[in-house]
């Protein structure tokens, strides 16, 4: 019965070969051994993926989280947790800064500043930035200013952002296009188009040529202010003659 069922299967060629081997005699031991895999199971590495799949998860985090944590040392992580713990108590916070923050190496101190900016702990980030500026190894760095100003602007703390802006300019450091864009966006979101225009005028006078994105942000944010928008649009068309400034329909904002 088994031979009859096998002969009716969808693989007639294999069935015929199997039947011929049965008629010739018993299956030899060598033929059975030939069916064994060439690589023994004990030699397989279970950590190597098979057909694109891992056999098990080893518990380590994957992706950017794991890479980001490796860039921050244990001392820096301890300081970040301590700063966040005492941020509502100024006296304890200052003691913690003197006892732990000042002991950090240069790279760890910068890592603390960067992580606080990423977590939007801008008040603590400003305090760490002031500590960094007092270190002997510190030299004026536009990128330290840039990251902190952008973090403050995104948190709508424009007064603190402008204090750093003025300090940066006193050190003869010029912001880049991204910094101009985020500060202009921050003032527009804060409902201060006049302050946004002041930053715009500073951008026009910058030694670096302006880029297109800050103009786009202003043209969109100044729709309720046609006089200011027309000035920006005129400058945009002169600097980027091949680009087109979009004007919304008149029934939405009237004639611009």
In this prediction, residues 169-180 reach a mean pLDDT of: 92
**β-strand partners of 53:** 50
Lowest-pLDDT choice from 11-20, 97-106, 188-197, 225-234:
11-20
Query: Can you spell out the DSSP letters for 1-30?
Result: -HHHHHHTSS-HHHHHHHHHHHHH-SPPHH
Q: Is the pTM of this model over 0.75?
A: no
pLDDT of amino acid 206: 87
pLDDT tier, 32 (very low <50, low <70, confident <90, very high otherwise):
very low
pLDDT of amino acid 138: 92
Average pLDDT, the chain: 79
pLDDT score of 39 more than 60: no
Query: Which sign, positive or negative, has the C-alpha torsion 107, 113, 116, 120?
Result: negative
Phi/psi region, residue 59 (left: phi>0; alpha: psi -120 to 50; beta: rest), is left
CA end-to-end distance (rounded Å), the chain: 91
pLDDT tier, 56 (very low <50, low <70, confident <90, very high otherwise):
very low
Cα–Cα–Cα angle for 14, 16, 21, rounded to 5 degrees = 95
pLDDT tier, 209 (very low <50, low <70, confident <90, very high otherwise):
confident
Do 138 and 107 form a contact (C-beta atoms < 8 A)?
Answer: no
CATH 1.25.40.10 fits 71-253, yes or no: yes
pLDDT tier, 128 (very low <50, low <70, confident <90, very high otherwise):
very high
pLDDT score of 63 more than 50: no
In terms of Cα–Cα distance, which of 144, 160, 163 is closest to 152?
160
In this prediction, residues 192-218 reach a mean pLDDT of: 92
Q: What residue ranges do the domains of the chain occupy?
A: 71-253
Query: Whats the size of the chain, residue-wise?
Result: 256
| Residue 135 tokens, joined | 């270190």
Lowest-pLDDT choice from 44-48, 119-123, 140-144, 228-232:
44-48
């Amino acid at each position: 019965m088994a031979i009859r069922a096998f002969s009716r299967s969808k693989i007639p060629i294999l069935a015929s070969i199997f039947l011929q081997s049965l008629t010739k005699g018993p299956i030899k031991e060598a033929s059975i051994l030939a069916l064994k895999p060439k690589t023994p199971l004990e030699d397989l590495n279970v950590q190597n993926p098979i057909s694109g799949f891992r056999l098990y998860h080893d518990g380590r985090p994957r992706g950017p989280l794991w890479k980001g944590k490796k860039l921050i040392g244990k001392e820096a992580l301890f300081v970040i947790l301590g700063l966040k713990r005492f941020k509502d108590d100024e006296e304890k916070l200052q003691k913690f800064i003197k006892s732990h923050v000042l002991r950090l190496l240069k790279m760890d101190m910068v890592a603390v500043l960067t992580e606080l900016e990423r977590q939007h702990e801008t008040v603590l980030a400003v305090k760490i930035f002031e500590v960094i500026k007092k270190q002997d190894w510190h030299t004026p760095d536009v990128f330290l200013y840039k990251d902190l100003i952008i973090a403050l602007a995104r948190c709508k703390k424009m007064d603190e952002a402008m204090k750093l802006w003025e300090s940066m300019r006193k050190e003869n450091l010029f912001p880049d296009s991204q910094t101009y864009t985020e500060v202009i966006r921050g003032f527009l979101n804060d409902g201060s188009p006049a302050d946004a225009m002041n930053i715009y005028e500073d951008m026009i006078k910058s030694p670096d040529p302006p880029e297109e994105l800050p103009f786009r942000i202003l043209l969109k944010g100044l729709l309720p202010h046609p006089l200011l928008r027309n000035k920006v649009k005129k400058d945009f068309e002169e600097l980027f003659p091949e680009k087109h400034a979009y004007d919304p329909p008149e029934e939405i904002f009237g004639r611009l």
